[in-house]
Amino acid sequence: MVYRGLYHFSVAYDKGKATDPVQYFTAKENQTQRRIMNTQTLVAQAYSAFNRRDIDGTLALMSENVSWPKASEGGRVVGKQDIRAYWTRQWAEFDPYVEVLQVIDREAGKVDVKVHQLVKNLKGDVLSDTELWHVYTIANGLIERMDIKEGESNSDLGPSAAFSGHNRTK
């Protein structure tokens, strides 16, 4: 993301439209580019921390009252401590890995993230290998809410298709 910003500055510099990178990045006409870079950095950091099972690193990117879907159980949790407890349960049963494929920064703090999600059981058997959309609400640079969009609907009530219908180890 930083490289993209530097690229845009270098193009402006080559055209004689910019000489100072600080002035360039703080200029009002370049705020959209900065917001997109910040959103993409936030998304990249969140997925990287999640895939490393770095709960503290992931939660640091969220607001105190973040609302999160319980993909493996159904329903939602609210707040960092409830997310910590949910992920601890989830990772005791499943080994999900989520790779970002596309990020679309919408207006009003909405961000659509197309992901490739690979879910394995703890023995390494593939339970699900699919692409789906995660829809985020971002406020003040932090994740406020995440929803999962599978097919044509959002799934809040039951488990995500990636986790449903599989023998659980409980």
Pairwise CA distance, residues 158 & 160, whole Å: 7
When divided into structural domains, the chain yields a total of: 1
- The predicted pLDDT at position 15 comes to 83
Q: Is 117 inside a domain boundary?
A: yes
Q: Is 166 inside a domain boundary?
A: no
Q: Per-residue pLDDT tens for 117-133?
A: 999 999 999 999 999 99
Q: Is 42 inside a domain boundary?
A: yes
Q: Per-residue pLDDT tens for 43-82?
A: 999 999 999 999 999 999 999 999 999 998 999 999 999 9
Q: Is 167 inside a domain boundary?
A: no
Domain extent at residue 62: 2-154
Q: Burial code of 50-73, b = ≥16 C-beta within 10 A, e = fewer?
A: beeeebeebbebbbeebbbbbbbb
Q: Is 164 inside a domain boundary?
A: no
Q: Is 17 inside a domain boundary?
A: yes
Whether 17 contacts 30, CB under 8 Å: no
Q: Is 67 inside a domain boundary?
A: yes
- Averaged pLDDT of the chain: 83
Q: Within 13 Å, how many C-alpha atoms sit on residue 121's CB side?
A: 10
Query: Which CATH number belongs to the domain containing residue 140 in this structure?
Result: 3.10.450.50
81: phi then psi, degrees, rounded to nearest 5: -65, -35
CA distances from 53 to 36, 48, 86, 98, 121 (A): 26, 9, 13, 12, 15
Q: Is 169 inside a domain boundary?
A: no
